Chains A and B, each alone.
Chain A
């Protein structure tokens, strides 16, 4: 159940009043409990910005430096808070710039509502200035979208937008509002949406399928859990932990599932997938029962499908019926909300432990430690590694920071080595792999959770895709900590070129600017580390700072991320070197 704030209640209880469409939009947002939104003004959305000006103090609009970053900031906001993030843009290029963020939110099931201005309705289809068919363009990457051409439609459609974005499997919704509808006056009253007849957000959990799942789990000799973001989205962290502890089943996570159970938990056996941990990948092909919870068997998780856990019985706990049997055929599918399903499951499970089976994970971890982890975290070579930077961040933040990573080598290192002791701590672009995600997402995350330490870990490539957001950070004094792991390469692409393209480094070498000077140009405190002996102190100073802080760490140029399941290979053919 959603808990309403007193301010929200005030806007929900307002009697009917004749106001403009644009004022109605702002009041709708307030009634939905929106306190912060991210956006960029322009011609077709100006009436709404005029109202935002009048409602300053009630609602905080944050001007990003690019609309794509407004969408990413809304994502970061949503991912750390569990609430709906909001982004706003004008028509035409403003709207199209949102698309990358929307597509990212769609594939990573992130609840955001995007509001775009549109040319006046009489100009629709006339190729008017800054007209674009944003409803058409955004259709394949939104959970739902709608164009409003009359002010009277505003309350109902916006209520529906928020309902759809946050319910069931969350996702992005876009509402496009013509300028004449923004100007038009009408009798406004807001009512929250409680249901849409064609839409079943959460399928009911069937007792029979839970019982069938429990029977298989109770009889399993070598069971393994793989959980995903569904656990976090349904707030099922505690019950998942209870299931794991009661049954003694080793549990691994997908990249978006990270942090639902603390890294230090003895039954947390690490990350699955292409750069995941050795043991859970290898033993995926040895377990007798694979229990997938709130995850979607992405190709980066499964590797070659024909050779993925073919020996195992597959149980899939999932809220979205279209995910069942989409990639991996299940033996038992338990539809429904993860928290509800796991709560029912827990009562049917026998107390158990699997010490010999768990030992196998430990043995393989030892192999991974000797071949990979030791060199990443305690290198004996001169150059700094990305892993040791993460290690220092863990020490300084006690593993309680929210890590916002971009895309590439540093992302995999961050996910592998960050200590996640608090849920909702791994904010990254998983499905879409959007370079440039981290800096704006960190802004949204920090503003949604000001009490948490938010550390953005970014590569030198992705950083330059949205580097202009330093302006947003500076103007709004957002105390995010920005760490750029600079290897002067598009590292992950370079790694592939080395391994699969005979070291032909086509367009992956970066000649970089003076990043410290750029940060300082935005009056952000900045430091650069090139030597191991300076690292610990620099990270300590960064974390100790109450202000935005930029830290560049120059790392070894041509290090690779291992383990690695080569594209198209089976998970058990994972390479350690």
Chain B
């Protein structure tokens, strides 16, 4: 129990501080844990940042890592979740030659079926945006790759939990 590796999403609420990314990534680096993806953004609380980190670990390990993360003075609270606990998305951009839109009719079908969105089109290229699960993004990548992709980029995972996180109450408690 607890020693099987799987993907976990870690959500970390922090103060907005310059050195914190360094502090948090060092915790993983020191233990030779590869970060699959990392995203930082604002959160639902003003002035509070949210890190979303995707890692492949076992549960015993992740509990220890969470302890190390929460120990950092400017970390307010850290949580870990399985895929089932969260609604999660990744996003990606494709840059593709515009000619292909007209020469390869199948591309139009792929775009329609994948629910991808055309962000911009000009004479030379068009940019396609797709958000969703990793598998959907990978499928689209495979399909478009057959025709040639000029540039490709994919974001880190962002995730929102199904359960309520009691972070706001925690912060309110500090004020009072």
Contact = CB atoms under 8 A, between A and B. Distances in A.
B52 interface: no
Interface size class of B (residues with CB under 8 A): 20 to 34
Contacts of A324: 67
A164 B73 CA distance: 8
A357 B70 CA distance: 40
Contact of B67 (A144, A146, A199, A326): A326
Contacts of A147: 18-19
Nearest to B67: A322
Most chain-A CB neighbours within 10 Å: which of B15, B67, B171?
Answer: B67
B67 A198 contact: no
Interface string A179-215: 0000000000000000111110000000000000000
B150 interface: no
Contacts of A145: 19
B117 interface: no
Interface in B120-176: 171, 174-175
Interface stretch (B22-30, B33-41, B83-91, B97-105): B22-30
B58 interface: no
A198 B15 contact: yes
Most chain-A CB neighbours within 10 Å: which of B18, B64, B73?
Answer: B73
B71 interface: yes
Contacts of B22: 136, 139
Contact of B63 (A198, A323, A325): A325
B76 interface: yes
B166 to A, nearest CB: 14
Contacts of B73: 143-144, 164, 196, 198-199
B68 interface: yes
Interface string B56-99: 00000001100110110111100000000000000000000000
Interface in A124-168: 135-136, 139-140, 143-147, 164
Contacts of A322: 64, 67-68, 70-71
A199 B170 CA distance: 11
Nearest to B171: A197
A146 B174 CA distance: 22
A325 B64 contact: yes
Interface string A83-122: 0000000000000000000000000000000000000000
Contacts of A146: 19
Nearest to B66: A322
B64 A198 contact: no
A138 B30 CA distance: 14
Interface in A369-390: none
A195 B175 CA distance: 10
Most chain-B CB neighbours within 10 Å: which of A144, A196, A322, A323?
Answer: A322
A321 interface: yes
Nearest to B77: A198
A326 to B, nearest CB: 6
Nearest to A197: B174
Nearest to B13: A198
A320 interface: yes
Contact of A326 (B15, B26, B64, B76): B64
Most chain-B CB neighbours within 10 Å: which of A197, A320, A321?
Answer: A197
14 contacts: A135-B19, A136-B19, A139-B22, A139-B23, A140-B30, A143-B73, A196-B74, A197-B15, A197-B76, A197-B175, A198-B14, A198-B74, A320-B71, A322-B68
A-B interface, 5 closest residue pairs, ranked by CB to CB distance from nearest: A322-B67, A197-B174, A198-B76, A144-B73, A199-B73
Given A139-B26, A321-B70, A325-B64, 12 more contacts: A140-B26, A140-B30, A145-B19, A195-B174, A196-B74, A197-B15, A198-B74, A322-B68, A323-B67, A324-B67, A325-B63, A326-B67
Interface of A: 135-136, 139-140, 143-147, 164, 195-199, 320-326
